[in-house]
Amino acid sequence: MSIEAVDFFYLSMPKVEDIGDGSQDALVVRVTADGVEGWGECEASPLVSIAAFVTPMSHGACKPVRDVVLGKTIDSPADIAAMSAAVEMECMDLLQAAHTFSGIEMALWDVLGKKRHAPVYELLGYKRAYPKLPYASQLFGDTPAETLAGCRKARESGYRAVKCGWGPFGKGTLKDDRDHLHAAHEGIGADGTLLIDAGQIFREDVEAAAQRIAFLEEVNTVWFEEPFLGGAYAAYAGLAAKSPKVRLAGGEAAHNFHMAQQLVDYGKVGFLQIDCGRIGGIGPAKRAADYAAAHGVTYVNHTFTSHLALCASLQPFAGLEGHRICEYPFAPKSVAWDMSETHLTPDANGEVNVPAAPGLGVTMSAAGMKRYLVDVEISTKGRTLYRSPTL
Amino acid sequence: MSIEAVDFFYLSMPKVEDIGDGSQDALVVRVTADGVEGWGECEASPLVSIAAFVTPMSHGACKPVRDVVLGKTIDSPADIAAMSAAVEMECMDLLQAAHTFSGIEMALWDVLGKKRHAPVYELLGYKRAYPKLPYASQLFGDTPAETLAGCRKARESGYRAVKCGWGPFGKGTLKDDRDHLHAAHEGIGADGTLLIDAGQIFREDVEAAAQRIAFLEEVNTVWFEEPFLGGAYAAYAGLAAKSPKVRLAGGEAAHNFHMAQQLVDYGKVGFLQIDCGRIGGIGPAKRAADYAAAHGVTYVNHTFTSHLALCASLQPFAGLEGHRICEYPFAPKSVAWDMSETHLTPDANGEVNVPAAPGLGVTMSAAGMKRYLVDVEISTKGRTLYRSPTL
């Protein structure tokens, strides 16, 4: 098959709020090869990732992603890997290229799976997909009472695992943080799985983060996510050495396999969180999952947007039975919900199952996407480089 | 002072060729604060970096760079550092933001230096600026004879140091590479400084790169640059262990301080090459220079574009006397030359001196830039987000 077209659809809520909710907009990609359509999603900042697809070349190692993708052959997983390697070399100096290509790469796997009538996880070498335990991801409340109410609601909605993050955590007193942690614990229940996300609030300050470890242990926190800036591996390793029970989690910002590997090797995380919409797609994410599994680290998807992104992000670790927890878009904005007809709702056991259908197993909704399509136009020298396609 | 305006000027040669010459286009930034104008330059892919300045917000940690910069106070180096930290947090999920902010950050130092009538290196804490030995950077020829001619020409033009890179290196036989290396050595002369840039050609293959070490030693190569993908630290460290004489160089892709630190700590490089137009500007580059100096690593600028970029990139290590070598745009395209009136031509000793003038010490040329200005328009929802300003 030859890649005939790559179309980007920038979807957005009418109003995007200044809150930590990543489901307010989306960049959906459609790849067409020999009449087969595949879908993927880039994370985040739609306009910038579109620009990286269409931008004029700066030099031989700074080409638009378009030049590396259009017209290329896609008949096997090896073809996808070759294209990923070509993007690394030919778009070397174009930082955003990794995000742009991530959605395209997902769509290429979708195309290939549809062509071969096989789910993507089978193309990745997995014999079957194991169910995952979804966690409901939410912000800490402004007060402990709000945090309690939020976690209780998640539990009542059937979630056995909850992640609380951002908001006031790390910004007030130690007592404030402790109160929020106990509120979350009470809300999710003593048998629930509690995950805490610090949202990089401590930057590189190991001592400040370490002061919270005893409180995290009191409420049986399973992981402590992103206490520091994504690349501050020495800080991660320093805190990991002080926290034998509560293991660290990180990796969502990784925009290539090596950054994921580094968090394991140098950051000493216990949980590796990979966003398929950033790391370069499903192929590098699978490599990260293999690396994690081989090093005693648990792989987890990072997914805060749609069920298209969710279906893609589950593939790389679908066959790893022991890697149980998955991030699940708990309360996405309507744009993230409406874009697809397929939704992975938890089953009677409260678990999420990867579709056994060909490709990513997602049926998109043209009507759903159409309601949120943002009209974009980019031109240079009077020539239009991009105009939002119709749906 | 308050930041009143940030204007981006996308400059380009009429035709950009598919070669490894990064001087074919440029993104120049002008920051205006209380009537003082400062200038900076982002590297690379102008359109994408402009998009990261104006893109609509995706969520609270994925804002356009504009929202973090416009209207902010700039009275001290601490204000610049605070703005850098704010970009890290508020543009956390916008990958290209680091490149966009890099040019702005340079311009902020330029503004501050002009306001205080001090060169930027003084604001960074250096008492004086030491001259640097410029190396002429060029591509390997298609044949050893071409490589010889290119290096001879550089030597005849007064350069005592030459870097050869990319082209056929690593793509043919070992003998081919050896022939090119000896040709380069002959061209630059036995007392010349020879630097070799592999352009990431060996990806992660330590053995393939290690096969060249003996040849590099034969011609007294001072550094072996980017044998591998930028983040493949384990490969760098593996090769470093096999190459005690020829030390490795890398770091141009670092888009934050930590990536630079990691190349020192984990990649075991001997030379740390930082592009101020990518790492977030002069502040993080200075931090990288300090880190390198404290760890027995030599800091070098990475500059393949204009003399504006050169003046900025020399500041972070201007006061480090022992860090002698500097990359110098040897044969830039006219767009990179014409944009400024100031040019740092080597002195009688063949050395380059950082201007002792206020700020970056660069006078831009409106007429020069005007000839290369690319007309760009970006709009969403029928509203213009960016249109090329006039000069």
pLDDT digits (tens, 9 = 90+) for B81-130: 999 999 999 999 999 999 999 999 999 999 999 999 999 999 999 999 99
Contact: A380, B47; criterion CB under 8 Å? yes
Query: What is the Cα–Cα distance from B329 to B134, expressed in whole angstroms?
Result: 9
Residue B331 pLDDT: 86
Average pLDDT of chain A? 97
| In chain B, beta strands by DSSP E | 3-12, 25-33, 36-42, 133-139, 161-165, 193-197, 221-225, 247-250, 271-274, 298-301, 325-328, 376-380, 383-387
Which residue has tokens 């990431």? B200
- Measured between beta carbons, the chain B residues lying within 8 angstroms of A382 are 375
Share of chain B above pLDDT 90, in %: 97
Considering only the beta carbons, identify the residue of B44, B85, B377 that sits closest to A379: B377
Q: How far is CA A79 from CA A2, B134, B367, in A?
A: 11, 42, 48
Contact A23, A329 (CB under 8 A): yes
Residue A222 pLDDT: 97
3 state SS of A80: helix
Q: Helix axis angle, A97-116 relative to A282-294, nearest 10°?
A: 90
Residue A134 pLDDT: 97
Report CA Rg, chain A.
21
Residue B330 pLDDT: 84
Question: For B281-317, what is each residue's pLDDT tens digit?
Answer: 999 999 999 999 999 999 999 999 999 999 999 999 9
Using CB atoms and an 8 Å cut-off, which of residues 203-232 of chain B contact chain A? Answer: 203, 229-232
Give the Cβ contact number of residue B261 at 10 Å. Answer: 22
Residue A331 pLDDT: 86
Query: What is the Cα–Cα distance from A245 to A220, expressed in whole angstroms?
Result: 9
In this prediction the pTM is 0.97
Query: What is the Cα–Cα distance from B111 to B115, expressed in whole angstroms?
Result: 6
Query: What is the Cα–Cα distance from A383 to A380, expressed in whole angstroms?
Result: 5
Give the Cβ contact number of residue A387 at 10 Å. Answer: 12
Contact A20, B63 (CB under 8 A): no
Q: Measure CA of the first residue to CA of the last residue in chain A; give whole Å.
A: 24
CB pairs under 8 A between A and B: 203
Contact A27, A103 (CB under 8 A): yes
- Measured between beta carbons, the chain A residues lying within 8 angstroms of B99 are 95
- Could you tell me which residues are beta bridge partners of residue B138? B164
Residue A234 pLDDT: 96
Q: How far is CA B302 from CA B95, B134, B148, B278, B325, in A?
A: 20, 11, 24, 10, 11
Contacts (Cβ under 8 Å, ≥6 apart) of A338 = A365, A368, A369, A371, A372
Mean pLDDT confidence for B339-348 = 96
Query: What is the Cα–Cα distance from B40 to B69, expressed in whole angstroms?
Result: 14
Q: How far is B329 from chain A (nearest CA, A)?
A: 15
Residue B292 pLDDT: 98
Q: How far is CA B70 from CA A124, B2, B10, B312, in A?
A: 47, 8, 20, 22
Considering only the beta carbons, identify the residue of B16, B57, B233 that sits closest to A16: B57
Residue A166 pLDDT: 87
Contact: B55, A46; criterion CB under 8 Å? yes
Residue B357 pLDDT: 97
Residues A227, A229, A234, A239, Cα dihedral to 10°: 0
**A56/B contact by beta carbon, under 8 A:** yes
Using CB atoms and an 8 Å cut-off, which of residues 71-100 of chain A contact chain B? Answer: 85, 88-89, 92-96, 98-99
Sign of CA dihedral B332, B338, B340, B342: positive
CA A319 to chain centre: 18
Residue A309 pLDDT: 98
**A149/B contact by beta carbon, under 8 A:** no
Report CA Rg, chain B.
21
A91-A95-A98 Cα angle (round to 5):
70
State which residue of chain B sits closest to A232, comparing Cα positions: B258
Residue A350 pLDDT: 92
Question: For A366-383, what is each residue's pLDDT tens digit?
Answer: 999 999 999 999 999 999
- Measured between beta carbons, the chain A residues lying within 8 angstroms of B95 are 45, 48, 95-96, 98-99, 255, 278
Residue A378 pLDDT: 98
Q: Put the strands of the sheet holding A133-139 in their side by side order.
A: A298-301, A271-274, A247-250, A221-225, A193-197, A161-165, A133-139, A325-328
Query: What is the Cα–Cα distance from B348 to B346, expressed in whole angstroms?
Result: 7
Question: For B19-54, what is each residue's pLDDT tens digit?
Answer: 989 999 999 999 999 999 999 999 989 999 999 999
Walk along chain A (391 residues) and give the pLDDT tens digit of each residue. Answer: 999 999 999 999 999 999 989 999 999 999 999 999 999 999 989 999 999 999 999 999 999 999 999 999 999 999 999 999 999 999 999 999 999 999 999 999 999 999 999 999 999 999 999 999 999 988 899 999 999 999 999 999 999 999 999 889 999 999 999 999 999 999 999 999 999 999 999 999 999 999 999 999 999 999 999 999 999 999 999 999 999 999 999 999 999 999 999 999 999 999 999 999 999 999 999 999 999 999 999 999 999 999 999 999 999 999 999 999 999 988 899 999 999 999 999 999 999 999 999 999 999 999 999 999 999 999 999 999 999 999 8
- Measured between beta carbons, the chain A residues lying within 8 angstroms of B336 are none
Residue B139 pLDDT: 87
Q: What is the ipTM of this complex?
A: 0.96
Give the confidence band of B74 by pLDDT, cuts at 50, 70, 90: very high
Query: What is the Cα–Cα distance from B337 to B372, expressed in whole angstroms?
Result: 11
**A52/B contact by beta carbon, under 8 A:** yes
Share of chain B above pLDDT 70, in %: 100
Tokens of A124: 């990745």
Considering only the beta carbons, identify the residue of B59, B93, B253 that sits closest to A16: B59
Contact B109, B38 (CB under 8 A): yes
Q: How far is A189 from chain B (nearest CA, A)?
A: 30
Residue B107 pLDDT: 98
Query: What is the Cα–Cα distance from A172 to A140, expressed in whole angstroms?
Result: 13
